[in-house]
Structure 1
Amino acid sequence: MKKVIAAFNMTLDGYCDHTAGLPDEEIHQHYTELLGQGEAILYGRTTYHLMEFWRTFLENPSEEKSMNDFAKAIDKIPKIIFSHTLKNVDWKSATIANRDLKETVLELKQQSGNDIFIGSRSLIIQLMNLNLIDQYQICIHPVVAGNGLPLFENINDRTILKLVKTKTFTGGAVILYYEPKTE
């Protein structure tokens, strides 16, 4: 059975802000490799639109190879978009979900293949409340943003997690790998 993995970046003070992190070559390489191991990534409308930024690197490559490689990886992985307002997408590897989040994730988990990633804060919160996340890969950047959207907000129940692994980057970011603790 596939795992559903919440892979997300946040600041040291717990906020989600893609402009506050400090992505470097090493972090881009990590996420390029991670995306290469996935079956699909789930996005909400807002994050999907933010990720469209990477399409520009396909047409006009950067001088930084790691950014170009990440752009290719994000372009390649199938993206399933959950939105009540978005009616169509023009990214070839993206589709709009035709069922609700819970149904879609439960069906994906039953299929054979690689893991499913969740790349949107709103979807992480929803799936956490449904107890459908198998692993959290939270990359904490050594930045205090001071404000923004907290990653864990409006959570229904207390969730106890077990730390199963860590990965430290030379730039100071740390990925904490957690799995829900079963009692």
Structure 2
Amino acid sequence: MRKVIAAFNMTLDGFCDHTAGIPDEEIHLHYTHLLNSADVILYGRITYQLMEYWRPFVKNSSGEKSMDDFALAIDKIPKVVFSNSMKNIDWASAKLAEGMLKDEILKLKQQAGRDILVGSRSLIVQLMNLNLIDELQLCIYPVVVGQGLSLFEHISDRIVFKLLKTRCFSGGSVLLYYQYNPTSTSS
């Protein structure tokens, strides 16, 4: 059965403002590798539209190899977008989800293949509430923003994860790898 891996960036104070991070070459390389090792990534509308930022770099190099490689990886990976308002998508590697989130995830997990990535805050929260996240990868940037969108807002129950490993980046960011621990979860 394929794993569902939620991978997201956040600040030291728990906010996930995409403009607050400090992505450098090393972090771009990490996420390029992660994208290349999975079969699909799931997005909500807002994050999908933010990721469209990378599309021009596929044809017009930014001049920074790590960013260009990331752009190629994000362009290539199949994307499933969950949206109630979008009617069509023009990114060749993307499609709108056909069913409800839980049903789509359960169907994807049963298929053969590599991991399923989740790169959208709203989907991470929904999937955590459904106990459908197998692994959580949090890249913590060494910055405090004081306010913003909390990654874990609207979690309905206590969810326990087991720390698998950590990775420190030279720029000061830390990547925490957690595995869902259902035997320790309680309300």
Instruction: Normalising by structure 2, report the TM-score.
Output: 0.97
Q: What is residue 116 of structure 1 aligned with on the other side?
A: 116
Q: Aligned Cα RMSD in Å?
A: 0.6
How far the C-alpha of 1:58 sits from its partner, in A, is 1.3
Q: Which letter does structure 2 place at the counterpart of 1:64?
A: E
Query: Counterpart of 1:27 in 2: which secondary structure?
Result: helix
Query: Counterpart of 1:40 in 2: which secondary structure?
Result: strand
Q: % of aligned pairs identical?
A: 65
79-88 or 172-181, larger mean C-alpha shift: 172-181
Q: What is residue 144 of structure 2 aligned with on the other side?
A: 144
Query: Counterpart of 1:16 in 2: which secondary structure?
Result: coil
Gaps of 5+ in 1: none
Q: What is residue 179 of structure 2 aligned with on the other side?
A: 179
Deviation beyond 4 Å, 4+ runs, structure 1 = none
Q: 1:10-21 alignment to 2 at 5 Å?
A: 10-21=10-21
Structure 2 CA distance, aligned partners of 1:163 and 1:123?
A: 22
Q: What is residue 71 of structure 2 aligned with on the other side?
A: 71
Q: Which letter does structure 2 place at the counterpart of 1:105?
A: I
Structure 2 CA distance, aligned partners of 1:134 and 1:74?
A: 22
How far the C-alpha of 1:182 sits from its partner, in A, is 3.2
Structure 2 CA distance, aligned partners of 1:59 and 1:114?
A: 27
Query: Counterpart of 2:62 in 1: which secondary structure?
Result: coil
Kindly provide the CA deviation profile for residues 107-139 of structure 1, in whole angstroms up to 9, marking residues without a partner as x: 000011000000000000000000000000000
Instruction: Normalising by structure 1, report the TM-score.
Output: 0.99
Q: Which letter does structure 2 place at the counterpart of 1:38?
A: A
Kindly provide the CA deviation profile for residues 133-174 of structure 1, in whole angstroms up to 9, marking residues without a partner as x: 000000000010111100001111101111011111000001
Gaps of 5+ in 2: none
Aligned length, in residue pairs? 183
Query: Counterpart of 1:172 in 2: which secondary structure?
Result: coil
Does residue 34 in structure 1 map to residue 29 in structure 2?
A: no
Q: What is residue 45 of structure 1 aligned with on the other side?
A: 45
